[in-house]
Amino acid sequence: MSGKLRTNIFSGLEQIVEKDYSLSEKTWFGLGGKAEFFIQPQTVEQLADVVRRCSENNISLRVLGYGSNLLIRDEGVKGVVIKLDGEEFCKVEQKEHSIIAGAGADLSKLVLDCVRKGLGGIESLAGIPGSIGGAVRMNAGGNFGDFGSAVESVTLMDNEGKVFEKSKPELSFDYRQTNITAKIILAAKLKMIEADPQQLLRSVKEVWIYKKNTQPLNMKSAGCVFKNPRGMSAGAMIDRSGLKGSKIGGASVSEKHANFIVAEKGCKSSDVITLIDLIKKKVKDKFDVSLELEIEIW
């Protein structure tokens, strides 16, 4: 389909559609090319309209959260990238001991708000950057717990733009993954427990101190690059393969935590990808373990 025809697909939605939109500033790595179409729907109806048009015209569709565990290739992304940052998608409501959080809401902010209100359940996620939608999709978490354990149900949208719900036990969470197949997550309902705000704050501080001491928080990265193989630490394996500090172009394996790749001045996405391939090969050679990516590459 010609570029002109593809543009016509979104006629009438010009106010929310941008063509050839640079995505690098939308990711924590600060790398990568442009999106063919970048769309910021302001309402569920507009979003459903976009989803239907993509489906009918066979245009690939991706949803961008906070870009905190994402690497975008230098050549950019064909098709549509949706960002749910309109007010309607960022709402957070409290109903007794439940929180309903929109997919575009900020996870870090929600953690702190809940701590202040004496609502326990997600304090272990302190310091994990991302949107609620992204946290659901990859079951965000760390050494202290994961997001899925607090999620009761999610509101989703299918390829026809229909909105539906999925609840536990039909909804299941595993290590850095979930069984959600729908492209679009609209909201999550979280079950919270009453707790002492001071105690929650102490937990948050503990998590923060641990992160500060063990992770390169002040550098451009996308968190842990690889999932931990069962019963093993990806970071320790990378370290024992002699890769700490290894560099390719502007990408290097963090000296502080070997499962982090940091982007330095002049770094390109291809540098990060080449370094990822080198790490996989070295770890495979040394431990006969195939590392799986935790970050997404578009």
Residue type, 132: I
Mean pLDDT confidence for 175-182:
95
Where would I find the beta strands (DSSP E) of 98-201?
98-102, 119-120, 141-142, 145-146, 151-157, 163-167, 173-174, 177-178, 184-191, 193-194
Mean pLDDT confidence for 265-292:
98
Q: What ranges do the domains of the chain cover? A: 3-83, 90-200, 216-297
How many helices (H) does the chain have, and how many strands (E)? Answer: 7, 20
Q: pLDDT tens digit string along 139-172?
A: 999 888 999 999 999 999 999 999 999 999 999 9
| Structural fold of domain 216-297 | 3.90.78
Q: pLDDT tens digit string along 67-89?
A: 999 999 999 999 999 999 999 99
Mean pLDDT over the full length of the chain? 95
Enter the tokens of residue 41: 């729907």
Helix, strand or coil, per DSSP, at residue 166: strand
Q: What is the pLDDT of residue 7?
A: 66
260 within 8 A of 69, measured Cβ to Cβ = no
d(CA 184, CA 139): 15
Phi-psi region of 31 (alpha: psi -120 to 50; beta: other; left: phi over 0): beta
Q: 3.30.70.1520, 1.10.357.10, 3.30.465.10, 1.10.10.10: which CATH number matches 90-200? A: 3.30.465.10
Does the structure show a pLDDT above 80 at 1? no
Q: What is the pLDDT of residue 35?
A: 98
Q: What is the pLDDT of residue 142?
A: 84
Q: pLDDT tens digit string along 102-138?
A: 999 999 999 999 999 999 999 999 989 999 999 999 9
H or E element that contains 113: helix 107-116
What Å distances lie between residue 274 and 234, 242, 249, 259, 267, CA to CA?
A: 18, 17, 9, 15, 12
- Give CATH for domain 3-83: 3.30.43.10
What confidence category does residue 5 fall into, taking pLDDT thresholds of 50, 70 and 90? low
Q: pLDDT tens digit string along 240-251?
A: 999 999 999 999
Enter the tokens of residue 13: 């939605």
- Tell me what percent of the residues of the chain surpass a pLDDT of 90: 92
